[in-house]
Amino acid sequence: MNIHQSGGLFQHQGKDVYLFTLKNKAGIEITISNLGGIIRNFNVPVKGGKNIDIVLGFDKMEHYLEEEYVKNQAYLGAMIGRYANRIANGSFEIDGQMIRVSQNIPPHQLHGGIKGFNEKVWKIEKIEELPNPKISLSYLSKDGEEGFPGNLDVRVNFVLTEKNELIIETQAFTDKPTAINLTHHGYFNLNGAGSIGDHLITIPAAFYLAQDIDYVTTGEQLNVEGTAYDFRREKRANQNWEDKEGYDQSFVIDKVYDTWGLAASAYSESSGIKLEVFTDEPTVHFYTGKYLNVKNGKAGKTYAAFTGFCFETQHHTNAVNIPRFPNTILRPGEVYKHTTSYCISTGDAHKGVH
């Protein structure tokens, strides 16, 4: 069998929480929960018969709901919604009507509000073994949840292929005009532990989005040329970062809007693991975990600043308040749809390290 479902682990919100392990012939094993669509494990076999788990998380799913962890807003490995990143002042207009949403980092909203999609128990729609192991989840975000209008029906597929790709396919439908910008918030460490400062990063983006002091996107797009944000040629994550800041920035991917292409890549010389992220989304948010402060992680690890990084594919952050940015309003009869893949290669597959 190339997919395995656990028994019910516990109940949350009156619903059973499960784990699903997807496997392929290359030995990659990915464990996903219907709690928050969380990717708990992403095990990659490397030379010497070892396996490296390249995502941050907890050994027990209950830890993802502990008060101290939730308060720290780490979102380890979870689905983010209804709206990724920050909505300025927790408000926006739709058709001339002012919408006010919850403000979990006052005065702004971050990653969907006080209780976002990361804390919800998703419905198990389908489990498939062929042609590739696949788990399909859904969540109905009811009208008014966190202040957002409309009943939003969200569907997510997680598929592991024999090409060592984890594909995440997302769809959503609404019965009222609403704002939506979903992403997945996996934290990666291609060494399994320690600092990610030595990871070699590529982001094919000539522009990044300007932010104010609260990390809220202002609407200005800045050229990466001659700045610390230029990752068009591979370089170490820590080569130009500010020591206490790292990166928490959205990049506009060098491709035609709504087309498929490379968003970012990371490579560890130590483990030999390379991660490539492909998407049809227009931006990728590169976060190096400045605010990580998570205790009792896997095997008792503490996740501190710069022990994990995120490549969050999405529409432009705060686009709902910036008319010249691509539209993030979904209307009845329309389909919100995007796909992102995380592709793994190991050993000699990496070229051009410098």
Catalytic center residues: 185, 312
d(CA 278, CA 265): 9
C-alpha distances in Å from residue 50, one per residue of 5, 31, 95: 24, 18, 55
With vertex at residue 156, the alpha carbon angle to CA 168 and CA 320, rounded to the nearest 5 degrees, is 90
CA-to-CA dists, residue 191 to 54, 113, 194, 311, 328, angstroms: 7, 32, 7, 16, 36
Task: Transcribe 138-155 into DSSP letters.
Answer: EEEE-TTGGG--S-EEEE
Following DSSP, what letter does each residue of 173-235 receive, concatenated? EESS-EE-B-EEE--B-TTSSS-STT-EEE---SEEEEE-TTS-EEEEEEE-TTSTT--SS-E
Query: 3-state secondary structure string, 227-261?
Result: CCCCCCCCEECCCCCECCCECEEEEECCCCCCCCE
Dihedral of alpha carbons 136, 140, 145, 149, sign: positive
Task: For Cα atoms 109, 111, 112, give the angle at the middle one, nearest 5 degrees.
Answer: 75
Mapped onto helix, strand or coil, the DSSP state of residue 19 is: strand
* DSSP character string of 40-71: EEEEEEEGGGEEEE-B---SSGGGGG-HHHHH
